[in-house]
Amino acid sequence: MRLVLDTNVAASGLLWDSGPPAQLIDAARAGDIELFTSKPLLAELARILARRKFARHMAASTLTIEEIVLGYAELTTVVEPAEITPTITVDPDDDQVLACALAAQADLIVSRDDAVLNLKHYHGIDIVLAAAAVERIKV
């Protein structure tokens, strides 16, 4: 199964050892799923990891932001985002997730961002929470 993780899900999966986002990262490491990302999403991940609210988790990881982002890039397939019509007007940066998923021909977009989740589907790609993605890959 081919998945694109929104950066909020990727950050959670990379910094916490348990929970659905971490289970998705573990499934990718085990080769059970394929994860896709893009350079704009990797840049956003670096910005998110630099936020104050992640400082304690970053310190506990003993890795730098660059090391975490590079590790995630190695775990994923980095694609060139597709050109898409602006779709999420409340936060145009969220369109990067859609553009990546379209380019990757993903089966699922995994997010916890309401603006993304409210779409429910994008060009035939289901948009789900991490827990729902974990349930789907168990099948």
Distance of CA 5 to the CA centre of its chain: 2
DSSP 53: G
Residues in a beta bridge with 4: 36, 109
pLDDT surpasses 70 at 139: no
| Local confidence band at 59 (pLDDT 50, 70, 90 cut-offs) | confident
CB 111, CB 21: distance < 8 Å: no
| Local confidence band at 5 (pLDDT 50, 70, 90 cut-offs) | very high
Q: Quote the pTM value.
A: 0.95
Q: Does the structural domain 2-138 have CATH classification 3.30.365.10?
A: no
pLDDT in tens, 119-138: 999 999 999 999 999 999 98
pLDDT in tens, 91-119: 888 999 999 999 999 999 999 999 999 99
From residue 112, give the alpha-carbon distance in Å to each of 21, 61, 130.
10, 23, 8
